[in-house]
Structure 1
């Protein structure tokens, strides 16, 4: 059965709906059996490329393809569909070959030369000087007096770099070297599909040529002596697959046909991303990267690849919130509906939020083993471990127990963090253990007397929880981890072979202890995606303290595919002036770049809430006439109170808007949601409100914190703004007051 390869933007050349159905019917028959009567797969006499074929779609339309017989199989590279005579003309001049510099496959159209007229005799005269004149370097032609230096020339690139080392076409290299600004270069890159566009983006960021070659794997492979086999191998290279997509089997093609979705066949992966999808790891591995760099795409593809590699593998794909887990589940289904989505412990992929994961482990634990696990980490067993302790319990503790501790530590936030970050991860169950435990990273030192007083409050929390028998979320995590690892007399349980984690920067120590215990240590056990700049929930906790060693097994993605370069610059500016620490405890850098360009963000200053609401309504109303789906527009606000105000103002103005809570943003309505809730979403147009304004209750909350906690909270507020700004694909408006 032949393998079908879709070339570049070939499906987009088929605009008519009726023709689409005919095209897919043709492709389905071709992939099933290329000798099927009626397909008429035929060579073209006198064509530039002997591999070219045409096929009969119907009486009027014909497909243009290339037939390759390398690697023992037949491959058809689908170039497009044209009217009969046009298809023949295209087939006559089109070629599929390898770039001589980097080995990338490329489809070119070579013009058929017109007949050369006979030369006209010239009178005899002095012999003309036919000595060839060497071409002037294009950089010299571009260096005109008074003109700004083109961006690539200013970055030190030469024509030889672009043509002889990277393999760009000469005309494109000249055009790139003439571009005045980075934004103009991004515009040029957007006009070119696949590896060529990626090279232009990397050049615009000043990447060394050697780094670009390595990142995109632009080094030719050794030839085999079989030109067709060399081409098939080239088509499968990571950089080539940004342009050429393999449709592996009838089932995959049928999914595309039934969905009538021309985008479903092609899920973009940067060559660097594809490397991490397929890479085998000996222990935990971390891939980091800014918003929009494709970390989640890597996780979803990797989960599918692990399932395909071993159908018996138990794979857990998890993240911080239920909403994000739902989004992951949708992406897995869209990528490959044939992959089984299963319950915890079954072969296939189990997608869940990390707290729901802890709850599932606790529920399935046998009573005696669960009691032993609770006693090991809490010093006691709770009667209703599947019941969650209410969030107000810490407030109840402070109301019930008088303390001499200052308000900067005797508050709900500090007590909860002390319990979650120090007591639970260390398995502290007595005052003596608490007096000895290290409190690394807590910022506020506690002497012996203060620790003793603190322990009274922590013990009261456990006492109240014991009375109703509940576990809080962090307690459930460490109890689940203890059960999985095993306790004296109770062997551990193994419920997963591979664990993939999204939004790792937001997870707590209890979460990490659970995830480390979920899969046995070994190859491909833990794969983590994180971005310290998007840490809006969790605390900075180096993983090596929790038994997750990723030192030397960490890589970084830097190319943003979602946000325009202009919007990304504004978002990154919100991170300036603060030190960011990753999950290895090392300083994190930014250095992200975008593959897209667009209008600069607009900043609108307002003096009052009423003026701000008027600006929001006016701007959203101005967007809707040019927007096919109002669901591609979002207003992101700091809190629920503001969300409801904005949603009401839009509704009063007749704008179809929806205040989003835990549900997914609806289609056909403008989404109004908090900045926190916006994580994991994206929209064409985004409006941020109340930027630079802090609610009175938030001012009061920050004032009650000690200096270290306040600094951490303010840093997270920067992260929230960065996350919100990077939800915008195209247009960003920032409203301040």
Structure 2
């Protein structure tokens, strides 16, 4: 049986081809059959570094690049490029087998030789070396080729290493990037090397031995060698069973991330079982949602045959994110009966359904923050107490509802950790009077807040005892959930192996909800995994965005702190651009001009996103784009489902991604938005938490970008931008 592999670069380049060229690629590779694929007419190249890298004619302008052994039916599709570019790439590159992971690597021999000579000339004797703390023996154990050690030893900083990313063998770059980011060699072994070895198919373990161990950069020359090396390259190479599967993948190339799970992701998603709740954390673009989807699929496959539909809950914070999860699930799980085992709904909607079904009537939900604050204001005036409406609302949400306090005695004893204003017994009694008045008014009006509904749903489920509605609960965007919502999630599934799977990133917390999972009976100790590689955003965009958070201490939802140490991108590109204008009209005009440039360079309008802090600016931008003849859709409005440039608030951009991203109106007084930040004199700790949420919101908006990021403002820029723009 033939073995056909697709390198991720091939699929990404294919996705950007014009439709007629894509059709021609279909036609060429439709010839892939068993028995040596004789109809492909693979052409050898003169002076090639690797005689097994061949090219194939796609059209008069395009060629494919293929790794083909001397014998057998194993092939690896590497690139699809313009004719001259394909030839130049193929001549310079060589496919090798990594000595540690036994997986395929591509190395640019010509560029590596030049880089080695250049670094040697530039490095002075007194220059501090980047990897001086790691021995040659350790580097070789981690898979670094012996012939690359002279280059590695002369590197002096991470910028030099980043500049080599495109020419270093892929697996070896990951190892060096981890070491450069401060990870210990054993951590790198565990997160980069061991995960690859653990998830290679068992039936190829013996085949790998045919690659000479004495030659660390040997090329796979035979069918068994190439098949084995491709099987050990999960995360970079997808294996397909034949022409039909190949055509199915090429039909939707932008869904390639579902094919290319990195070994560190696959280890978590497809682990046979966890003894209890498990968690995956990582920065934007590290694939947390992808892992959550795959975990739901894995759990569905393990269900007993007689399990009812909807046995697994896949949930998240908002309706929009739940809708995105449902769409992704439909792409990932094509088996309708299997997909029916997984129910997708956001937490608040599920709570509403549970309480509504119990009471037998629809619930009236108070959703507007202005309406809630106004009600607190009236209570303050009526009771004559010395608290602000904002303080009381936060005390109710972050203390009373967060700890499920149901009596004045419980509130008097409760911890108020994280709240900046100390309250003695008399003050607490006044607060409880206000809370009683607030909840009484809601009850009299037949109204609920979403958090009250969640608390009631959890109470109803706990009354049922051991009978719970789900076997497994998978949670995405976990960092934004309130403790009341977590109590509901805990009540939905009985404590058991694989009961809860949690994905989130506290650096992206934008709603100010802090939680200790342990205090809610959700222990992830020993079952928490961190993802460090960003697959969405270029290193340049990532570094710029991460610099926004420099110096910020972020909790990990489990009693510790979270860190972006070792967080890095798999791609490189242009640096983000910043643009300041004197007025709004000028800023919008410059933004429209930028979007025109992006579309002129063959970026589709729907691949462009514009994030704003408030919706009116978004509408103004949409009107300006319309006058310029560019289609636009403002998310959350009647036009939001149309084609065109996607414009939305920073909150609405959560979970989305775009090839080109503009963040507009990042002005002083808007980011952070004054009305979203508690006055420091009211509560100093809450003031800092609110600023951190606003900063995270900007961070989230910037990390929606894949290839290009532009940040603009008019008047004075946001204070958040001062350090990064100056830098």
**TM class by smaller structure:** 0.7 to 0.9
Alignment check: 8 A CA contact 2:98 2:171 kept: no
After superposition, the C-alpha distances for 1:517-565 in whole angstroms (9 at most, x for unaligned) are: 1111121111111211111114222112222122332222222222222
* 1:267 is aligned to 2:244: no
Alignment check: 8 A CA contact 2:236 2:262 kept: no
Alignment check: 8 A CA contact 1:631 1:670 kept: yes
2:315 — aligned with what?
318
> Structure 1 residue 208: deviation in Å?
4.5
Q: Distance in 2 between matches of 1:41 and 1:625?
A: 36
Q: Report SS of the residue matched to 1:457.
A: helix
Q: Distance in 2 between matches of 1:26 and 1:673?
A: 45
Q: Distance in 1 between matches of 2:190 and 2:639?
A: 40
Paired residues for 1:106-255 under 5 Å? 142=120, 144=122, 153-156=129-132, 160=136, 164-169=140-145, 182-183=158-159, 185-191=161-167, 194-199=170-175, 201-202=177-178, 204-205=180-181, 207-217=183-193, 224=206, 235-237=230-232, 240-247=233-240, 255=248
After superposition, the C-alpha distances for 1:426-458 in whole angstroms (9 at most, x for unaligned) are: 443333443344434333332222222222222
Equivalent of 1:534 in 508, 512, 520: 508
Alignment check: 8 A CA contact 2:119 2:151 kept: no
Q: Report SS of the residue matched to 2:429.
A: helix
1:398 — aligned with what?
377
Paired residues for 1:16-165 under 5 Å? 16-23=21-28, 25-27=30-32, 30=33, 34=34, 76-79=74-77, 98-105=97-104, 142=120, 144=122, 153-156=129-132, 160=136, 164-165=140-141
Residues 109 and 548 (structure 1 numbering): CA distance in 2 closer, same or farther, change over 3 Å?
Answer: closer
After superposition, the C-alpha distances for 1:597-624 in whole angstroms (9 at most, x for unaligned) are: 2222223233333333333233333333
Q: Report SS of the residue matched to 1:190.
A: coil
2:720 — aligned with what?
none
Alignment check: 8 A CA contact 1:505 1:538 kept: no
Equivalent of 2:583 in 608, 618, 628: 608
Q: Distance in 1 between matches of 2:244 and 2:348?
A: 35
After superposition, the C-alpha distances for 1:59-110 in whole angstroms (9 at most, x for unaligned) are: xx999866999xxxxx95555799xxxxxxxxxxx99985445422468999
Alignment check: 8 A CA contact 1:388 1:473 kept: yes
Residues 733 and 53 (structure 1 numbering): CA distance in 2 closer, same or farther, change over 3 Å?
Answer: closer
Q: Report SS of the residue matched to 2:646.
A: strand
Alignment check: 8 A CA contact 2:633 2:642 kept: no
Residues 261 and 663 (structure 1 numbering): CA distance in 2 closer, same or farther, change over 3 Å?
Answer: farther
Residues 140 and 66 (structure 1 numbering): CA distance in 2 closer, same or farther, change over 3 Å?
Answer: closer
Q: Distance in 1 between matches of 2:683 and 2:526?
A: 35
Which stretch of the first structure deviates more once superposed, 240-249 or 454-463? Answer: 240-249
Q: Distance in 2 between matches of 1:157 and 1:664?
A: 57
Q: Report SS of the residue matched to 1:288.
A: strand
Q: Distance in 1 between matches of 2:70 and 2:344?
A: 40
Q: Report SS of the residue matched to 2:275.
A: coil
Residues 397 and 605 (structure 1 numbering): CA distance in 2 closer, same or farther, change over 3 Å?
Answer: closer
After superposition, the C-alpha distances for 1:185-244 in whole angstroms (9 at most, x for unaligned) are: 43532356753453454355354444333222258799648868887666444xx11233
Q: Report SS of the residue matched to 1:316.
A: strand
After superposition, the C-alpha distances for 1:279-333 in whole angstroms (9 at most, x for unaligned) are: 2311112221111222112112222222233365622111111111122222222
Q: Distance in 2 between matches of 1:141 and 1:607?
A: 45
Alignment check: 8 A CA contact 2:12 2:253 kept: no
1:332 — aligned with what?
329
Residues 385 and 215 (structure 1 numbering): CA distance in 2 closer, same or farther, change over 3 Å?
Answer: same
Q: Distance in 2 between matches of 1:290 and 1:81?
A: 29
Unaligned runs of 5+ in 1: 70-74, 83-93, 111-137, 372-382
> Structure 1 residue 245: deviation in Å?
1.3
Q: Distance in 2 between matches of 1:634 and 1:37?
A: 43
Alignment check: 8 A CA contact 1:358 1:477 kept: yes
> Structure 1 residue 511: deviation in Å?
0.9
Q: Distance in 2 between matches of 1:172 and 1:694?
A: 52
* 1:646 is aligned to 2:646: no
2:391 — aligned with what?
414
* 1:551 is aligned to 2:544: no
Which stretch of the first structure deviates more once superposed, 307-316 or 694-703? Answer: 694-703
2:282 — aligned with what?
289
Alignment check: 8 A CA contact 2:26 2:247 kept: no
Q: Report SS of the residue matched to 1:529.
A: strand
1:619 — aligned with what?
594
Equivalent of 2:537 in 540, 544, 563: 563
> Structure 1 residue 340: deviation in Å?
4.6
Structure 1 or 2, whichever has the larger Rg, is 1
Alignment check: 8 A CA contact 1:624 1:630 kept: yes
1:91 — aligned with what?
none
* 1:628 is aligned to 2:603: yes
Q: Report SS of the residue matched to 1:527.
A: strand
Alignment check: 8 A CA contact 2:538 2:573 kept: yes
Which stretch of the first structure deviates more once superposed, 607-616 or 472-481? Answer: 607-616
Which stretch of the first structure deviates more once superposed, 5-14 or 550-559? Answer: 5-14
Q: Distance in 1 between matches of 2:138 and 2:117?
A: 12
Which stretch of the first structure deviates more once superposed, 574-583 or 614-623? Answer: 614-623
After superposition, the C-alpha distances for 1:231-263 in whole angstroms (9 at most, x for unaligned) are: 7666444xx112331336898557436x36486
Paired residues for 1:366-381 under 5 Å? 370=358
> Please, what is the CA RMSD of the aligned residues?
4.7
Q: Distance in 2 between matches of 1:498 and 1:640?
A: 38
> Structure 1 residue 482: deviation in Å?
2.0
Q: Distance in 2 between matches of 1:65 and 1:205?
A: 36
Which stretch of the first structure deviates more once superposed, 490-499 or 710-719? Answer: 490-499
Residues 144 and 419 (structure 1 numbering): CA distance in 2 closer, same or farther, change over 3 Å?
Answer: closer
Residues 465 and 6 (structure 1 numbering): CA distance in 2 closer, same or farther, change over 3 Å?
Answer: same
Length, aligned pairs only: 658
Alignment check: 8 A CA contact 1:195 1:242 kept: no
> Structure 1 residue 719: deviation in Å?
0.7
Q: Report SS of the residue matched to 1:691.
A: coil
Alignment check: 8 A CA contact 2:574 2:708 kept: yes
* 1:467 is aligned to 2:439: no
* 1:360 is aligned to 2:353: yes
Q: Distance in 2 between matches of 1:602 and 1:545?
A: 43
1:276 — aligned with what?
268
Q: Report SS of the residue matched to 2:651.
A: coil
Q: Distance in 1 between matches of 2:151 and 2:675?
A: 53
2:85 — aligned with what?
none
Equivalent of 1:661 in 636, 650, 659: 636
Q: Distance in 1 between matches of 2:341 and 2:585?
A: 52
Residues 37 and 437 (structure 1 numbering): CA distance in 2 closer, same or farther, change over 3 Å?
Answer: closer
Alignment check: 8 A CA contact 2:279 2:528 kept: yes
Residues 547 and 252 (structure 1 numbering): CA distance in 2 closer, same or farther, change over 3 Å?
Answer: farther
Q: Distance in 1 between matches of 2:676 and 2:96?
A: 67
Alignment check: 8 A CA contact 2:108 2:168 kept: no
Q: Distance in 1 between matches of 2:707 and 2:543?
A: 13
1:578 — aligned with what?
552
TM-score (norm 2): 0.77
Residues 404 and 230 (structure 1 numbering): CA distance in 2 closer, same or farther, change over 3 Å?
Answer: farther
